[in-house]
């Protein structure tokens, strides 16, 4: 899952990396991307889900109400919480 795709280059690299681990299926899911990017990824992944494929595309941030960046501190806190939940179960 990604917040959206523009060129899809990073997602293509992610799919290639996942393929090397031998998963049963690779699904790419994004809320917004240009139609041609979704079409290109269909050759790489088993399934591609693009909720919105606007034309013209403009950019990922143009299709979000809040496209603010997630800070390193927020990521660390979310990972810490996730680890605490996993440890408790």
Does pTM top 0.85 for this prediction? no
Q: Over range 4-24, report the average pLDDT.
A: 91
Pull the structure tokens for residue 70: 């997630």
| Beta strand extents in 14-89 (DSSP E only) | 27-32, 47-52
Q: What is the CATH number of the domain that holds 75?
A: 3.40.50.2020
Residue 2 has pLDDT above 70, yes or no: no
Encode pLDDT of 48-84 as tens digits: 999 989 898 888 877 777 777 888 998 899 889 988 8
Encode pLDDT of 32-43 as tens digits: 999 999 999 999
Identify whether 2 is part of a domain. no
Q: How many domains does the chain have?
A: 1
Q: What domain range is 81 assigned to?
A: 9-88
Identify whether 81 is part of a domain. yes
Residue 24 has pLDDT above 90, yes or no: yes
d(C-alpha 5, C-alpha 27), whole Å: 14
pLDDT value at residue 26: 96
Identify whether 59 is part of a domain. yes
Residue 27 has pLDDT above 90, yes or no: yes
């Amino acid at each position: 899952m990604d917040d959206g795709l523009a060129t899809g280059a990073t997602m293509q690299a992610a799919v290639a990396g996942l393929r090397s681990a031998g998963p049963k299926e690779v699904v790419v899911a994004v809320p917004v991307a240009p139609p041609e990017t979704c079409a290109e990824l269909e050759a790489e992944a088993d399934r591609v889900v693009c909720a919105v494929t606007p034309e013209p595309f403009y950019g990922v941030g143009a299709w979000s109400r809040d496209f603010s960046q997630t800070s390193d501190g927020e990521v660390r806190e979310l990972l810490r919480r996730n680890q605490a939940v996993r440890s408790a179960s």
